[in-house]
Amino acid sequence: MIIGSDIIRTIQMGLKSRGGYYSSVMDGLCGEATIKPMQKVLGTMVDGIVSQVSDIVKELERAMNDNKLPW
């Protein structure tokens, strides 16, 4: 059995409550169903892929540094 992360589950709940961006099972797993809505909310290219240099990583860092996470 795979156990998901509480942090990812919190993000999933936030995405769901912010206009229904997340509609899958809140399993705490950081897969494509979680990554794509995060990318949409952050205004980055929606491809479901996170890499070290991807725009979503840069936007997450900026939002965290500014204490303005959107969820």
Among 3, 1, 10, 11, smallest CA distance to 50 is for: 11
On whether residue 37 sits in a domain, the answer given is yes
Q: Which phi and psi (to 5°) does residue 55 adopt? A: -60, -35
- Residues, the chain, total? 71
**pLDDT reported for residue 33:** 95
Asked whether 29 and 2 are in contact (CB, 8 A), the reply is yes
On whether residue 70 sits in a domain, the answer given is no
Number of domains comprising the chain: 1
On whether residue 54 sits in a domain, the answer given is yes
**Residue ranges making up the domain that contains 25:** 6-65
Among 9, 33, 59, smallest CA distance to 70 is for: 59
Token pair of 60, please? 């997450």
On whether residue 32 sits in a domain, the answer given is yes
pTM: 0.72
pLDDT in tens, the chain (71 residues): 778 899 899 999 999 998 889 999 999 999 999 999 999 998 888 999 887 777 888 888 888 889 888 77
